[in-house]
Amino acid sequence: MQTLTLLRPDDMHLHLRDGDTLRHVLPHTARQMGRAVIMPNLKPPVISVADALAYRERILAALPAGSRFQPLMTLYLTDHATPALVREAKAAGIVAFKLYPAGATTNSDSGVTDLFKLLPVLEEIAAQDMRFLVHGEVTDPAIDIFDREAAFIERILLPVLDKVPCLKTVFEHITTAEAARLVCQSGDNIAASVTPQHLLLNRNDLLVGGVHPHHYCLPVLKRESHRQALLEAVSGAQAHKFFLGTDSAPHPQHAKENACGCAGMFSAATAIELYAEAFEQIGALDKLEAFASKNGARFYGLPENTDTITLVKQAQTVPNSFPIGNGGNLVPMRAGGSVAWTMQS
């Protein structure tokens, strides 16, 4: 039987929510990952240092007994952020600020309306050696939803990086050839996280044969040519600039399966196995450990994890759903299907 042993990976982009949902979904990530960068788009959002520290305590309290998982906390960037807040956050051990353009995705109503007005804040993020995480889509209704990532690069990201050239930026959950090319051609202060769905699925998986609500995420799935560009990026000459970030997002089944279903895919239960599938498809399993366990830690200035996990080439069936408390369920990526790899307990 084929086996693959890796340094324990980190998830550099994770949604845990709060309350019962947090308590139900956190063990999936803690079983596989050593650390995770925790997204701050709660209701209300995590905008202050006190918010982040309190949320961290709730996460630690929800961990299974004996777990060594470490949450890495972030703050939700708003129009009211200040350089003083950045300095306070750095002193408290918060690793990053997250940009949600207002209205771009789930719980982004409090997001930034004009990033250029926050240049002093971005300069302080750079000065404090923190990370700037971007949901890279414009929200202009005149721009086609499939073009919003590319438009963000031209309208916002490149002009901002020109003004703050040392800003250590993570282009989150990239979905396009344009984004992959930008990261590859930029300096080492620019990196990107990549999700399992954007390595394994394209927009046919969302739209062919009817709309598949559990494949709806933002940024939305793109053409097959973009998926191929991402696979080439994570395994190519500049692969050190790309790392694992699931964007695993737990939403109740009823919130996905309705007339206005919410965006997000839950992949945490089989995350590393899904990535193994993607890398195996292109004959690059030898590149998986760097992507999953080394590149993200290096970009964030963290030591690599010292323990390991082992995957075996043994198919497993993904449950149709998982409980999230209060009688609710969430439907995971690949629900009812199989994944070709299994992580040993």
| Each residue's pLDDT tens digit, 290-317 | 999 999 999 999 999 999 999 999 999 9
CB 46 within 8 A of CB 55: yes
Q: What pLDDT, on a 0 to 100 scale, did the predictor assign at position 101?
A: 85
Structure tokens at 133: 């995480």
Cβ atoms < 10 Å from Cβ of 329:
16
Where does the pLDDT of residue 1 fall: very low under 50, low under 70, confident under 90, or very high at 90 and above?
A: low
Count of positions (residues) in the chain: 345
- Which token pair is 160? 């901002």
Whether 226 has a binding-site annotation, put simply, is no
Find the DSSP H helices in the chain: 19-32, 49-62, 83-91, 119-127, 148-152, 158-163, 177-185, 196-200, 204-207, 224-235, 253-256, 271-281, 288-289, 295-300
Per-residue model confidence (pLDDT) at position 131? 98
CATH number listed for the domain at residues 3-344:
3.20.20.140
- Is 263 annotated for ligand binding? yes
Find the range with the poorest average confidence among 28-37, 159-168, 276-285, 325-334. 325-334
Residue 295 among known ligand-binding residues: no
Tally of CB atoms within 10 A around 203: 17
Is 41 assigned to a binding site?
Answer: yes
pLDDT score recorded for residue 117: 95
Instruction: Please indicate if the annotation marks 28 as binding a ligand.
Output: no
Q: Which residues contact 284 (CB under 8 A, 6 or more apart)?
A: 234, 235
Is 162 annotated for ligand binding? Answer: no
The answer to the question of whether 135 is labelled as a binding residue is yes
Task: Determine what percent of the chain is predicted with pLDDT higher than 90.
Answer: 94
Per-residue pLDDT tens digits for 134-172? 999 998 999 999 999 999 999 999 999 999 999 999 999
pLDDT at 201: 98
pTM of the model: 0.96
Q: Domains of the chain: which residue ranges?
A: 3-344
Question: Is 251 a known ligand-binding residue?
Answer: yes
CA 66 to each of CA 60, 71, 77: distance values in angstroms, whole numbers, following the listed order? 11, 15, 33
Q: Between β-strands 96-99 and 131-134, what pairing exists: parallel, antiparallel or unpaired?
A: parallel
Active site residue 247: yes
Task: Over range 324-328, report the average pLDDT.
Answer: 87
Catalytic residue (choose from 79, 109, 188, 247): 247
State the Cα–Cα distance between residues 15 and 25, nearest whole angstrom. 9
Q: Which residue has the higher pLDDT, 168 or 113?
A: 168
pLDDT in tens, 187-211: 999 999 999 999 999 999 999 999 9
240 is in an annotated binding site: no
Alpha carbon 256 to its chain's center: 19
